[in-house]
Amino acid sequence: MEVAVLDITGKDTGRKVELSNDVFGIEPNDHAIYLDVKQFLANQRQGTHKTKEKAEVSGSTRKIKKQKGTGTARAGSIKSGVFRGGGRFFGPRPRSYSFKLNKNLKRLARRSALSIQANEHNLVVIEDFNFETPKTKNFVDILKALELDTKKSLFVLGDLNNNVYLSSRNLKTSKVINASELNTYGILNANKIVFTEGSLEGLHTNFNK
2-46+99-207 CATH fold: Ribosomal Protein L4; Chain: A; (3.40.1370)
Average pLDDT estimate for 25-33: 95
Span 57-90, pLDDT tens digits: 998 889 999 999 999 999 989 999 999 999 999 9
pTM (two decimals) = 0.82
Find, among 115, 187, 176, the residue nearest to 143 by Cα. Answer: 176
Where exactly are the structural domains of the chain? 2-46+99-207, 51-91
pLDDT value, residue 203: 81
Strand pairing category for 123-126 and 2-6: parallel
